[in-house]
Amino acid sequence: MPVFKWENFEFIIDVQNNNIWEKSDPKNTYLLWQMNDLGNKGYAFEHYDQATGRTIVVDLPPLVKLDPEGMARKYNKSQEEIKTSSDFEIMVDQDLLKKRISSGQLPTITIDDHIFYADARIDLLRPKDDFSTMGIRFDELDDYYLVETNSYAFPYNPRTHEIGKLDYDNITEYPKDLLFVEIPDVKVLDPVGWNRRHGWPETDDLKWVGLKLEFEAKVVPWKATGIDELIAENRLKKPIKEAAKPQKKASKNKRGPKI
């Protein structure tokens, strides 16, 4: 990997993982998306010099200058394209960007063969050609967010195109009418709409988030969701609940007439 020198420091450039680290101390790792993006000029970040106890600002050139060969391999570009382009032009698909911003094309995600439009600006995952429902609001998915995968995993009703409702206290078998699906986070699905909603530049963070216009939801088998333990627990409780019902009824029948 290329080495970048700044004053007395040397940094290893890792374009594959979008980070750099200090050659003499690999634990000093810096993520590019956390740096100050200077556009065509590159990036800037603060580095602590343990020897002197001072903090210096490192000006990092663009990746196309630091590692043109690595950028060409990663993004399947020619050396000529790398030489004449900026990091942003190489890292973000410009044709897709034009469709998204100039043409207003919304990203889509297919969930169980049905297409949804992902519109982060209005916080909505809207089913195509179904006007009986507004669809799924992203803020409704907050309770189903998985930090580890930066995604939402939730029960889905393919008939109503909405979040499926589960009776967690009484469920004793896999739901026959519901699916369990996993989809990317809202900012991954529609980063441009996300930026618009929060008042940020439309292209903010696109280099790190990426830009796609078509997604496919992952359908997760119920046995892989961890629901088996809940089902087993409810099955054990069911006889107790059933036995308690006649007692309540009998107790109710002993009451005298209302006055």
Angle at CA of residue 89, ends 85 and 90, nearest 5°? 80
- 157 near 231, Cβ under 8 Å? no
With CA atoms as reference, report the closest residue to 111 among 147, 162, 150, 146.
162
**Is 77 a member of any domain?**
no
**Is 182 a member of any domain?**
yes
**Is 235 a member of any domain?**
no
Same-domain check for residues 32 and 118:
no
> The pTM is what?
0.82
pLDDT at 255: 43
Same-domain check for residues 127 and 43:
no
Same-domain check for residues 45 and 110:
no
Q: Assess whether pLDDT exceeds 60 at residue 251.
A: no
**Is 142 a member of any domain?**
yes
**Is 256 a member of any domain?**
no
Q: How many domains does the chain have?
A: 2
Q: Assess whether pLDDT exceeds 90 at residue 71.
A: yes
Q: Assess whether pLDDT exceeds 90 at residue 170.
A: no
- Per residue in 56-70, pLDDT (tens digit) is 999 999 999 999 999
Confidence of residue 247 (pLDDT cuts 50, 70, 90): low
DSSP state of 100: H
Q: Assess whether pLDDT exceeds 80 at residue 252.
A: no
Torsion of CA 19, 22, 27, 33, to 10 degrees: -20
- Per residue in 145-164, pLDDT (tens digit) is 999 999 999 999 999 999 99
Q: Assess whether pLDDT exceeds 50 at residue 172.
A: yes
More reliable by pLDDT, 254 or 152: 152
Instruction: Find the farthest-apart pair of alpha carbons in the chain and give their distance in angstroms, rounded.
Output: 94
Torsion of CA 24, 11, 36, 213, to 10 degrees: -120
Same-domain check for residues 226 and 98:
yes
**Is 127 a member of any domain?**
yes
Task: List the domain range (segments joined by +) for residue 7.
Answer: 3-68
Same-domain check for residues 50 and 109:
no
Lowest mean pLDDT among 181-185, 220-224, 230-234, 245-249: 245-249
Same-domain check for residues 110 and 149:
yes
Alpha helices in the chain (DSSP H): 63-66, 68-75, 79-83, 87-91, 94-101, 186-189, 191-197, 206-209, 228-253
**Is 258 a member of any domain?**
no
Same-domain check for residues 38 and 101:
no
